Amino acid sequence: MSLLWSEIKYNFVHIDQVNFDIDSLYRATMRRVLKTENDQDFYKEIDRFLVKFKDGHTELVIRPESGEENTDYPRYGTALFGDKFYFTSYRLHSDTDSLLLGAEIVEIEGIPTTEYVEKYVLPDITGSTPTYNLKVAGALLLNGKVHTRIKGKALTRAGKIVNFDVIRDGESTRTPDEQWWEPKSERKRNWRDKIALNWENDIAIVSIDKFWPEEEMCHKIDSIMQIVRKENPAGLVIDLRNNGGGSTNVAQHLQMYLTDADSLRTFGWQTRKNLGYGRAQGNYREEYEDYFEYTAYETYPPEIYVRDKAIEPIACPVVILMGTYSFSACEDFLVCISEMPGHPLLIGEETAGSTGAPLVIYLPHGAVARICTLRELYPYSLKPFVGKGVTPDIEVKPTIDDYLDGKDPVLSKALEVLNDH
């Protein structure tokens, strides 16, 4: 606990965004830590301490087996659309009620759903933006201790208020051949593929869900782009809505396909700067005050790197899809693309808002935590990438009706733009 507190005070890059007293939080958490009687409770306190910093790269990454909580989910899926939470799926051939599909969850355990989320769900979510945190809350809404029940009220599609009372046993009762309801869609893909190529008439759709492993993904991107170039499509859609990140080098590799410039500009960055002498002087000399307040930063300008001449840029119009689950190294890519001269059109929703070279910290019993040490700066404006994700040029937000009907309005908008080009 003391190690984490110390590393955050000296290395957590968003220390200037913290609106509470870190030392007070540390002391309060330490008092509870000393009273814990098992690893589960101990690591729950560690987790809650880190969650307070609301950063997607500052969190407890791995708990030891002895510290894992026995949690589970019901045999239903839930999600956030707009500002409301809905039942979005259920396990088929199981003890589930199909009438709940598409129903708005209006009350949980006797209180309004939004209040329940604020009180019981959001405090355990590590994320950098309210949008991302609420999206994750939608997916985890009814999770809790295994084999316990959770009840509430829902507004069905027919406009009727119904009660629900479900058990959290979705994982513990899983079977290899289980099936879940899912919307029918004309565009199907194998979600086990990190990268996939599909076609909509003469428009290529490349979905990339990871930028890792580095060498493998660069090779796969090269292979698919060769196919795209050979087919000479009318347009290219690059779908990054489910890209959780990986390597910035893969992001830069992909960017080379989207410009014919001889060189490209990376993002700039900031990191904490600690100087003992500066802190000693900072309580009475203004020029050292930042060191005394733990808010001194070193700023590094964007770098220029030469494009690989072996990479031939895509000649057709390109549109990039992005969303709330576009995260980490994927956002490195989007930060750079968003200010690149003549950049492809960005369509979708604001990204997760978190990236930044985490410091890995090894804890007892094999537990692992990480702390964000790098704050990105946009490559041309140099504005800091903090507290807000990359915003699209055209915002498109799917609705619950879109989802249930198997429609993809984000992709449809991209196809419309390319067809009208």
What is the pLDDT at residue 143?
98
CATH (residue range 71-167): 2.30.42.10
CA distances from 55 to 52, 83, 271, 370, 390 (A): 8, 22, 15, 10, 15
Q: Is the pLDDT of residue 190 over 90?
A: no
- Mean pLDDT, to the nearest integer, of 230-250? 98
DSSP per position, 365-403:
GG-EEEEE--EEE-TTT--B--SS-PPPSEE----HHHH
Q: Which has the higher per-residue pLDDT, 193 or 291? A: 291
What percent of the chain lies above the pLDDT cut of 70? Answer: 99
Confidence of residue 274 (pLDDT cuts 50, 70, 90): very high
Average pLDDT over residues 227-235: 98
**pLDDT tens across 161-171, in order?**
999 999 999 99
What pLDDT shows up at residue 191? 66
User: Contact, 338 vs 378, CB < 8 A?
Assistant: yes
Model pLDDT, residue 193? 87
Question: Tokens at residue 107, please?
Answer: 């009350």
In single-letter form, the type of residue at position 247 comes to S
Tokens for 390, please give them.
């990359």
**Band of pLDDT at residue 186, cut at 50, 70 and 90:** low
Kindly state the average pLDDT of the residues 168-189: 90
According to DSSP, the β-strands at 71-72 and 144-145 are antiparallel
Q: Is the pLDDT of residue 308 over 90?
A: yes
Q: What percent of the chain has pLDDT over 90?
A: 95
CATH superfamily of 195-267+302-353+388-419: 2-enoyl-CoA Hydratase; Chain A, domain 1 (3.90.226.10)
How far CA 80 is from CA of 99, 105, 136, 322, in Å, comes to 18, 10, 8, 17
- Alpha-carbon distance of 205 to 94, in angstroms, equals 36
Confidence of residue 67 (pLDDT cuts 50, 70, 90): confident
pLDDT above 70 (res 406) = yes
Question: CA dist 415 to 90, 314, 322, 408, Å?
Answer: 31, 17, 14, 11
Tell me where in the chain the CATH 3.90.226.10 domain(s) lie: 195-267+302-353+388-419
d(CA 338, CA 352) in angstroms, rounded, equals: 15
End-to-end CA distance of the chain: 56
Interior/surface letters 37-55, b for 16+ CB within 10 angstroms, e for the rest: eebeebbbbbbebbbbbbb
Region 328-353: mean pLDDT is 98
> Residue 192: what pLDDT?
73
Mean pLDDT over all residues of the chain?
Answer: 96
In the chain, where does the domain assigned CATH 2.30.42.10 lie?
Answer: 71-167
Please state whether beta strands 235-239 and 318-322 pair in parallel, antiparallel, or not at all (unpaired). parallel
Reported as a single tens digit per residue, the pLDDT across 29-62 is 999 999 999 999 999 999 999 999 999 999 999 9
The pLDDT of residue 189: 66
